[in-house]
Amino acid sequence: TPLSLTGFGGLMWYRPLTLQHALDLKAKYPDAKLIVGNSEVGIEMRLKRLQYRVLVSVTHVPELNVLNVKDDGLEIGAAVRLSDLLSVLRKVVTERDVHETSSCRALIEQLKWFAGTQIRNAASIGGNICTASPISDLNPLWMAVGANFRIIDSKGNSRTTLAENFFLGYRKVDLASSEILLSVFLPWNKRFEYVKEFKQSHRRDDDIAIVNAGLRIHLQETSEIWVVADASIAYGGVAPCSLSAKKTKDFLIGKVWDQNLLQDALKVLQNDIILKEDAPGGMVEFRKSLTLSFFFKFFLWVSHQLD
Ligand code: FAD
């Protein structure tokens, strides 16, 4: 049944069972906070003492919980829990052609190091995306894999945007107060398209990243030479939000994939990701070197795939 509870200080908590009811609540209370796992909002309210008047728990809205395997990719509802996404990705990689699931394998690896089991069982992909943490482990990957976000407003109108264009600034995303994230579309990979995830943190298990990344390259073979047809390089932990290394991407496209490219790309990348001496988070030299070493590792890994 739909629930509506009133709490201390006039707090209102709703649990709609339909998308329409959730959207109606958003129309009535534009500042309503959607919650799924409450792993971000709970901390904001208890530890940061932020006050929200209306909470809408969307865990039971069917449209937000879809996990549809389609011909061109995977449709993932915004309220899907990380553990459920992980199970479907694991199934998909056994069922589809191996070249189609490079992004899936990168997501699986990154999810393994995302929090612990309890958080992964409760936390949603939409909650992670909309929080737009600068060290989100998944957002650089959504950008790199070319994911599309479907957004719906309280009148039921929907639009899509590339993950790459969604993160605007520190915890700021391209969502109006009348809009919610409906789903994420993860496209399958093309032949000779390779995706890899990276995360460096202090501890291996259950720790937040110092720097993380999602890297993708699409290569084409012309007379036994591999040429870069497309690329995407996104980092977390180096800016107020997940950041695409656009100059490096532009540099790579059309280039021959060889040792020279590696050396030149590292130089471009060094000037593409700028961390000021006093950047929040500190460890500036370390973080700069991580951005380069992730690319270096990616280069070696991709080259090995081509052998
Ligand atoms: P909630 O707290 O329920 O919601 C978060 C925000 O998203 C809210 O502002 C909410 O309004 C908004 N929102 C949710 N759904 C929608 C929607 N459909 N449309 C619009 N807005 C929406 N993060 C990492 O990246 N890597 C980690 O390793 C990691 N480890 C963690 C460890 C711990 C112990 C904790 C507490 C958190 C950790 N996090 C980590 C952060 C957090 O768990 C994730 O960001 C999580 O995915 C948030 O999901 P949620 O469903 O709990 O979000």
Beta pairing, strands 54-57 & 12-15: parallel
**Predicted TM-score (pTM) above 0.95:** yes
d(CA 307, CA 195): 17
d(CA 189, CA 146): 10
Nearest residue (CA) to ligand 1, atom 31: 115
- Mean pLDDT value across residues 232-236: 98
pLDDT of residue 147: 98
pLDDT of residue 82: 98
DSSP readout, 14-69? Answer: EE-SSHHHHHHHHHH-TTPEEESS-TTHHHHHHTS----SEEEE-TT-GGGG-EEE
Q: Ligand 1 centroid vs 41 CA: distance in angstroms? A: 8
The 8-class DSSP code of residue 190 comes to P
Whether 35 lines ligand 1, by a CB cut-off of 6 Å, is yes
* pLDDT category of residue 279 using cuts at 50, 70 and 90: confident
pLDDT tens string 32-41: 999 999 999 9
d(CA 260, CA 121): 44
Whether 141 lines ligand 1, by a CB cut-off of 6 Å, is no
pLDDT of residue 10: 85
Whether 248 lines ligand 1, by a CB cut-off of 6 Å, is no
CATH number for 3-57 (one of 3.50.50.60, 3.40.50.1010, 3.40.640.10, 3.30.43.10): it is 3.30.43.10
Whether 41 lines ligand 1, by a CB cut-off of 6 Å, is yes
Q: Ligand 1 centroid vs 81 CA: distance in angstroms? A: 10
Nearest residue (CA) to ligand 1, atom 30: 115
Whether 236 lines ligand 1, by a CB cut-off of 6 Å, is no
- Mean pLDDT value across residues 187-207: 94
pLDDT tens string 2-48: 889 988 788 999 999 999 999 999 999 999 999 999 999 999 998 88
- Mean pLDDT value across residues 204-226: 93
Q: Ligand 1 centroid vs 250 CA: distance in angstroms? A: 32
To test the pocket of ligand 1, the residue of 39, 58, 171 to mutate (highest count of ligand atoms within 8 Å of its CB) is: 39
d(CA 230, CA 163): 16
Give the helix ranges, DSSP H, for the chain: 19-28, 41-46, 82-95, 102-112, 117-122, 125-131, 139-144, 246-252, 259-272, 284-306
Ligand 1 atom with minimal separation from the 208 CA: 28
254-258 LR contacts (CB < 8 Å, sep 24+): 254/227, 254/228, 255/227, 255/228, 256/225, 256/226, 256/227, 256/228, 257/217, 257/219, 257/226, 257/227, 257/228, 257/302, 257/303, 257/306, 258/226
Q: Residues, the chain, total?
A: 307
Q: What is the share, in percent, of the chain residues with pLDDT greater than 90?
A: 88
d(CA 82, CA 118): 10
Q: Ligand 1 centroid vs 300 CA: distance in angstroms? A: 33
Tell me how far apart the terminal alpha carbons of the chain are, to the nearest angstrom.
57
Q: How many CA atoms lie within 13 A of 154 on its CB side?
A: 13
Task: Tell me the CATH number for domain 194-306.
Answer: 3.30.390.50
Looking at domain 62-187, does it have CATH number 3.30.460.80?
Answer: no
* pLDDT category of residue 305 using cuts at 50, 70 and 90: very high
At 35, the amino acid letter reads I
Q: Ligand 1 centroid vs 56 CA: distance in angstroms? A: 14
- Mean pLDDT value across residues 277-299: 93
Whether 19 lines ligand 1, by a CB cut-off of 6 Å, is no
> Residue 226: beta bridge partners?
221
Ligand 1 atom with minimal separation from the 78 CA: 18
Domain boundaries, the chain: 3-57, 62-187, 194-306
Whether 131 lines ligand 1, by a CB cut-off of 6 Å, is yes
Helix (H, G, I), strand (E, B) or coil at 256: strand
DSSP readout, 198-213? Answer: EEEESSSSS--EEEEE
- Mean pLDDT value across residues 141-155: 97
Beta pairing, strands 167-169 & 172-173: antiparallel
Whether 126 lines ligand 1, by a CB cut-off of 6 Å, is yes
